[in-house]
Amino acid sequence: MLRHRSEDTGVLPARSARGRRGAVSRLVVAPHCDDETLGCGGLLAKYPGEIAVVVLAQPDEVRFKEFEVAREILGYAPAHFLGLKDGSVGEDMHRLVGLLDRVVADLRPDELYLPFPSMHQDHIAAYEAGIRAGRLSMSEGHWFTPSLYVYDVAAYDVTLYPTNLEWNMFEALDEECIDKKVDALSAYSSQAVTGPHPINSVKQQASVIGHARQVNWAEPYSLVRGVRV
């Protein structure tokens, strides 16, 4: 599935901004500051007024300042921080799911974006907790998020978590959006690496992914559940 802006194609997304019931249309769950940009930077730049981010791990002062610079470049609203210990966000899964439940219930998004459960333990925890937070529940006040997506954090080439996830949905981006993503990633100077690395070829990767779908640039996502209303 290739998704363009609704105004470009005349096709509405899962729920249009006019019909949404929550505070935001989309919510990105980021294990750490920089995952939101690396995985969903184009999406954040494309829908800045309709999207929010919740960060699980508490960043240090340097990383937080970098996050704020990246956020301003992408243009979306201030984020939510759960303040959990970096490297151990899933130490108490029951508490993590409860914290995410509250954020989701408050914002009531139509779409929830979770990191691919790669080899990093925090990414696995974020994915599992996000799936649980997106459950259908009999609890009063629980928000059932209609559509769940998984995003790619292209920093790992090995996964320790077998899944049947496939990159089957692609967000079409224009050059302004992809350039903002590149600029936002450059704000994370404390995480910079030299030489060949996925983080240093974001625009090229987006071009390859996009060209295979007859658009200039695109981000890949995996659709876990989609409900169109």
Give yes or no for residue 12 having a pLDDT over 50.
no
Is residue 28 a contact partner of residue 53, using CB atoms and an 8 Å limit?
yes
Q: Provide the H-helix boundaries in 29-170.
A: 35-46, 61-74, 93-107, 121-133
pLDDT band with cut points at 50, 70 and 90 for residue 1: confident
Lowest mean pLDDT among 54-58, 119-123, 127-131: 119-123
Gyration radius (Cα) of the chain, Å: 16
pLDDT at residue 215 greater than cutoff 60: yes
Task: Extract the tokens encoding 60.
Answer: 């240090």
Residue 179 pLDDT > 90: yes
**Greatest Cα pair distance in the chain:** 51
- Provide the pLDDT for residue 30: 98
Q: How many residues does the chain have?
A: 229
pLDDT (mean) for 27-50: 97
Q: Is residue 14 part of a domain?
A: no
In a domain? residue 113 = yes
* Model confidence band, residue 6 (pLDDT cutoffs 50, 70, 90): very low
- Give the pTM: 0.90
The reported pLDDT for the residue numbered 160 is 77
**Domain-located, residue 15:** no
Task: For tokens 């019909």, name the residue.
Answer: 19
Residue 67 zone, left/alpha/beta (φ > 0; ψ -120 to 50; rest): alpha
Higher pLDDT pick, 195 / 124: 124
The residue ranking higher by pLDDT, 12 or 129, is 129
Say if 5 falls within a structural domain. no
Secondary structure class of 46 (helix, strand, coil): helix
* Residue 9 in domain: no
Among 44-48, 49-53, 112-116, 153-157, name the one with the lowest average pLDDT.
Answer: 153-157
CATH code of residue 57: 3.40.50.10320
Residue 3 within a domain? no
Residue 190 lies in a domain: yes
* 6 in any annotated domain: no
What the block records as the tokens of 175 is 């050059």
Would you state the pLDDT for residue 32? 97
| Cα 53 off chain centre by | 7
pLDDT tens per residue across span 49-68: 999 999 999 999 999 999 99
Contact 219, 151 (CB under 8 A): yes
How many structural domains are present in the chain? 1
Tokens 């970098």, residue located: 66
Proportion of the chain above pLDDT 90, given as a percent: 76
Helices and strands, counts by H and E, the chain: 7, 8
Q: What are the distances in angstroms from CA 156 to CA 1, 40, 49, 121, 204? A: 24, 16, 30, 12, 17
Using pLDDT thresholds of 50, 70 and 90, give the confidence band for residue 157: low
> Which pLDDT score, from 0 to 100, does residue 191 have?
85
CA distance readout (Å), 19 to 14, 16, 24, 58, 145? 10, 5, 11, 34, 15
pLDDT at 140: 87
The residue segments making up the domain with residue 85 are: 22-224
* 142/82 Cα distance (integer angstroms): 18
Give the pairing type, strands 147-151 and 217-225: antiparallel
Whole-number Å distance between alpha carbons of 115 and 143: 20
